Amino acid sequence: MFNNDLFSDVKFVVGGGPNGQSESKEAIPAHKFVLSISSPVFEAMFYGELAETREKIELPDCEYESLLELFRYIYSDEVILSGSNVMGVLYLAKKYMVPSLADECTKYLQEHLDPSNVFSILPSAQKYEEKNLQERCWKVIDKQTEEAVKSDGFATIERSLLEAVVIRDTLSIKEVDLLKAVNVWATNECERQGLTTDGEIKRRILGESIVKGIRFPVMKEVEFATVVIDSRILTPEEVSTFFKYFNCVLNSPLEFSESVRSGFSDDDISRCCRFLSIRKGCWGYGGEADVIDFTVDKDIMLHGLCLFGSETSNYSVNLTISEIGFNPDYLPHTLVSKTRRFSSKLLQPANYYGFEILFDSTITCTKNIKYEIRAFISGPMSWVGSGGVSTVVCSGVTFTFTDNADAGNGTSTRSGQFPEILFSLLP
């Protein structure tokens, strides 16, 4: 009986036609009773108090291919989905309250989800409140951010979704590349509205929440000079402030985040906490280094560290992590070096004031090799850890901490700096 005039008592007129000609109209025959036993909406339409009596019903909100698949599913419990019809079928499944078909559509979308289409799928997942599909979309965006923001779909997303992306901490993308994508979006939006694409208008369209969500401080100075300035999104005063920041002559706090995006969701990163208790503002800095050594019993990826600070304070930090081994003849070599000014804030879930130092790329730490964490810190008195232990087991990894003779500022296994190590297991 599917798509058959035999015993048909209603026809639905839609655009698109069987050959995909959008200007043409095509009628699909159907049977009121069959539709009604599968959809409460059709039941109300044909057998309710205001029952539809016309033999032909026009549906301007759908196309031939999508409606045909809705009917195919109602008649046969089968559906032929494709990239061109799945969104339309999902819309009709929701409209006519056929939840099992909606499930088939979301399953198809999840199986075919990738960075090239994620920004085309996510808005529909949000509109139809498909929670699982939304989560899958955000995972793709987090893990493959660079590819996703270069897709055609990103340039046409709503501003609200753009803001949700920009403020997200778990993106895995260089900040300068994110700025480039945001600038393309703003340029396209100016052209769509028929506006001049100058910096002031782009900033007005973006809004302060998006501009302040871009982490300009983590860019390299050359990236800032060659990309950010040309975008003209920042004011001359802000540009001047950033050049002072890059050259370590800025005395006032920045209004932009200074932390590198983690590139991993909270579930992916484990936090090794090495202190049993924390005390307020009693740890000072006099130019000597805070140093601690550690080993692990499994290979891990090191994402960053947490350092103590104090409320509403700023600290200048010169941090290095080196592989030093156990053999006296072993030649130590630096794995990462980071020099920057950081703003202290309340860190959760440990509930202390400090700041995260996230690395531009992860460091592989090999089991049974000794590593050294060394930091020269300048700033006001900070919080401090106490009751430290030499061995900590976290997420199945055993961290063993040992004192370093060069720790001139007093950090040790028992007390001092470096409250948390951010890591994940090697896959």
Higher pLDDT, 209 or 15: 209
By residue range, what is the domain housing residue 163? 131-246
What band does 329 get if pLDDT is binned at 50, 70 and 90?
confident
Nearest by Cα to 217 from 176, 183, 180: 176
Per-residue pLDDT for 21 more than 60? Answer: no
Same domain, 293 and 395: yes
What band does 331 get if pLDDT is binned at 50, 70 and 90?
confident
pTM: 0.65
Per-residue pLDDT for 410 more than 90? Answer: yes
Same domain, 286 and 418: yes
Q: Decide which of 78, 112, 146 is a domain's last residue.
A: 112
Average pLDDT over residues 214-234: 92
Average pLDDT over residues 132-144: 93
Tens-digit pLDDT profile for residues 198-208:
999 999 999 99
Tens-digit pLDDT profile for residues 361-390:
788 899 999 999 999 999 999 999 999 999
- Asked whether the beta carbons of 11 and 57 are under 8 A apart, the reply is yes
Model pLDDT, residue 152:
92
Higher pLDDT, 24 or 58: 58
From first CA to last CA, the distance across the chain in angstroms is: 53
Model pLDDT, residue 368:
92
- Asked whether the beta carbons of 373 and 403 are under 8 A apart, the reply is no
What band does 426 get if pLDDT is binned at 50, 70 and 90?
confident
Same domain, 82 and 149: no
Model pLDDT, residue 23:
63
Query: Do the domain assignments include residue 407?
Result: yes
Q: Decide which of 84, 112, 140 is a domain's last residue.
A: 112
What band does 188 get if pLDDT is binned at 50, 70 and 90?
very high
Query: What's the number of domains the chain is made of?
Result: 3
Tens-digit pLDDT profile for residues 152-182:
999 999 999 999 999 998 898 989 999 999 9
CA quadruple 60, 152, 133, 129: dihedral, nearest 10: -50
Same domain, 276 and 412: yes
Same domain, 413 and 306: yes
Average pLDDT over residues 389-397: 93
Same domain, 274 and 418: yes
Q: Decide which of 63, 80, 112 is a domain's last residue.
A: 112
Q: What is the domain-level CATH number for residue 86?
A: 3.30.710.10
Same domain, 224 and 85: no
Model pLDDT, residue 259:
74
Per-residue pLDDT for 211 more than 70? Answer: yes
Query: Do the domain assignments include residue 148?
Result: yes
Query: Do the domain assignments include residue 364?
Result: yes
Query: Do the domain assignments include residue 262?
Result: no
Query: Do the domain assignments include residue 255?
Result: no
Query: Do the domain assignments include residue 259?
Result: no
Per-residue pLDDT for 105 more than 60? Answer: yes
- Asked whether the beta carbons of 251 and 245 are under 8 A apart, the reply is no
Q: What percent of the chain stands above pLDDT 70?
A: 96
Tens-digit pLDDT profile for residues 242-276:
998 888 787 777 888 877 776 755 557 889 999 99
Same domain, 279 and 371: yes
Same domain, 419 and 274: yes
Model pLDDT, residue 264:
58
What mean pLDDT value characterizes the chain?
A: 91
Per-residue pLDDT for 191 more than 80? Answer: yes
Average pLDDT over residues 10-39: 82
Query: Do the domain assignments include residue 125?
Result: no
Lowest mean pLDDT among 47-56, 122-131, 307-316: 47-56
Model pLDDT, residue 316:
93
Angle made by CA atoms 126, 130, 135, in degrees to the nearest 5 = 80
Q: What is the domain-level CATH number for residue 386?
A: 2.60.120.820
Same domain, 287 and 417: yes
What band does 359 get if pLDDT is binned at 50, 70 and 90?
confident
Model pLDDT, residue 266:
55
Per-residue pLDDT for 87 more than 80? Answer: yes
- Asked whether the beta carbons of 52 and 45 are under 8 A apart, the reply is yes
Same domain, 233 and 286: no
Per-residue pLDDT for 22 more than 60? Answer: no
- Asked whether the beta carbons of 231 and 183 are under 8 A apart, the reply is yes
Per-residue pLDDT for 44 more than 80? Answer: yes
Per-residue pLDDT for 324 more than 60? Answer: yes
Average pLDDT over residues 56-60: 92
Same domain, 390 and 275: yes
